[in-house]
Amino acid sequence: MDPHAHELTDEYEPADEYEPAAESGGGRSRMRDDSLSLLTRGYGFGERIWRRVGAGGRAAPMRLLGKDALFVRGAEGVALFYDGRRIARHGAMPAFVQETLFGHGSVHSLDGAEHRHRKATFVEIAYEDAEVERLTPLLEREWQSEVDDWAAGGERSAYDAAVGALGRAIMRWAGVPGTPAAQTRWAARLAQIVDGFGAPYSPSFLLATLNRWWSDRHARRLVEAARSGRLTPAEGTALHAWAWHRDENDELLPSQVAGIELQNSMRPMIAVARLAAFAAKELHDRPEWRARIAAEASERGALVGGPLATAFAQEIRRTAPFVPMLPAWALEDVELDGERLAAGGRLVLDILGTNTDERSWERPGDFAPERFLGVEDYEALDAFVPQGGATVAGGHRCPGEKLAIAGLAAATAALSDDRVTILGSGLEVNRRRLPTKPSSGGRVRAAAEGSRCPFH
């Protein structure tokens, strides 16, 4: 097991208390509502729910926002959750999350043919390998710049550096104009939306709401400028695609919605900055992997595309607490592992529990990047769902996942450079907060002369 696992775990909590059993029409017992527990326990919520069923259970009953719900995990849970004939996503996400994180009217709120039509544009602009190749030199340039700055005495955390580097790279990829400073500022706003959306009881949520308003206005103006001819984004870029995207009725999207989808084409990459902070923590704790990745980058003469860095990034995506779960509605009665959910109830997929499921992964509690070496088709791993599951075209898997992997792998290689060192302080993680990251964001400093990588 990971010797540092204690830094990521919550204290032991007693098992849930059930109300006196009373059979409902569906044959399930009533329980206390679990909504408050989600807000207060954060990433410990899933572990608490799974205590209700036997070891290795695939489904656990609960109540969420006053409705019966079923918590599911593993390949079986993924298959049920993404069955579009029986399960719908529209309206299942709490409004404060949907409106703040994804934006009003975004693809995340759609189902069926409308979802497939809108999703096709995301697939067209982000999914193909050619788009990764187009992004790669931008990532290389931005991360080399961050490493050079650290080596010269810069003191940005891994998280802050990643917000800027990934934000500037993805905005240039998307065809968004602006100076590097302006792009960095917008990236910081988008990053704060991700930081604050999960804490509706805090000032961070209010700030996220304000940043959502500002970003929506800014993106809408970019779309309107492209439509009027005042901006001429290159064909094939996200800005061009959303400015001219037509719905199923062959009508242009409202400029506000088009701007929201433009942001949804870029924000997943900027959200990767949180995972870059986890990469800093894991690299600090595993100097042998840091040395191997540094040697790989030196031999290849590039920070991007290294197999070792990519495998490390994939293991970060599997293990780091990020998106804890996703909700949907049951369109008809469904059953999994002996547990039944009536039509109209919420089906909730345990993302972190699936990515670390003991029946789906060998040594799931170990941080082992080698498990991803040689894995070309990560989408074929049914229990690997850090950015959604099923297929990209027909399901809800994020089309920008390849871009996110490339961005995190480049960050991992940059943080492994022998000119910099990762400080050990501030790497603790508060698992009660959604979303979370190492408290310091991963402090990075210029390396002392005598601490260079032995491979250089």
Region 158-184: what's the mean pLDDT? 98
* pTM for the model: 0.89
Lowest pLDDT segment from 36-50, 72-86, 207-221, 342-356: 36-50
Q: Provide the percentage of residues in the chain whose pLDDT is more than 70.
A: 87
User: How far is the C-alpha of 331 from the C-alpha of 88, rounded, in Å?
Assistant: 7
Residue in 315, 191, 186 with CA at minimum distance from that of residue 259 = 186
pLDDT digits (tens, 9 = 90+) for 117-159: 888 899 999 999 999 999 999 999 999 999 999 999 999 999 9
The contacts of residue 290 (CB under 8 Å, 6+ apart) are 283, 284, 415, 416, 453
**Fold adopted by 5-451:** Cytochrome p450 (1.10.630)
Tell whether the model's pLDDT for residue 36 goes beyond 90. no
Tell whether the model's pLDDT for residue 105 goes beyond 70. no
Q: pLDDT value at position 29?
A: 43
Tell whether the model's pLDDT for residue 1 goes beyond 80. no
Q: pLDDT value at position 446?
A: 97
Q: pLDDT value at position 113?
A: 80
Order of strands across the sheet that contains 346-350:
59-64, 67-72, 346-350, 325-330, 87-88
Region 32-40: what's the mean pLDDT? 86
Tell whether the model's pLDDT for residue 18 goes beyond 60. no
Backbone angles phi, psi at 62, to 5 degrees: -160, 175
State how far Cα 139 lies from the chain centre: 18
Residue in 426, 447, 411, 436 with CA at minimum distance from that of residue 146 = 411
Structure tokens, 300:
């290849």
Q: What is the mean pLDDT of the chain?
A: 88
Per-residue DSSP letter, 347? E
Domain boundaries, the chain: 5-451
Specify burial of residue 380 (Cβ count, 10 A radius: 0-12, 13-18, 19+).
Answer: exposed
Query: H/E element holding 448?
Result: none
Query: H/E element holding 63?
Result: strand 59-64
Backbone angles phi, psi at 132, to 5 degrees: -65, -40
Residue 388's pLDDT band (cuts 50, 70, 90): confident
Residue 255's pLDDT band (cuts 50, 70, 90): very high
Q: pLDDT value at position 14?
A: 37
Lowest pLDDT segment from 194-203, 298-307, 396-405: 194-203
pLDDT digits (tens, 9 = 90+) for 185-244: 999 999 999 998 777 778 998 999 999 999 999 999 999 999 999 999 999 999 999 999
- Tell me the H-state helices in 229-324: 238-243, 255-285, 287-300, 307-319
Region 337-352: what's the mean pLDDT? 96
Q: pLDDT value at position 89?
A: 80
148 half-sphere exposure, CB direction, 13 A CA radius: 7
Backbone angles phi, psi at 429, to 5 degrees: -125, 125
* Start-to-end CA span in the chain (Å): 31
pLDDT digits (tens, 9 = 90+) for 259-287: 999 999 999 999 999 999 999 999 999 99
User: How far is the C-alpha of 37 from the C-alpha of 348, rounded, in Å?
Assistant: 15
What angle is formed at CA 286 by the lines to CA 388 and CA 187, rounded to 5 degrees?
45
Structure tokens, 369:
């990047």
Q: Measuring CA to CA, how many Å separate 439 from each of 94, 102, 128, 184?
A: 27, 25, 35, 21
Q: Measuring CA to CA, how many Å separate 380 from each of 285, 307, 319, 320, 383?
A: 30, 18, 18, 20, 9
Tell whether the model's pLDDT for residue 347 goes beyond 90. yes
Backbone angles phi, psi at 60, to 5 degrees: -135, 125
Three-state DSSP at 141 gives helix
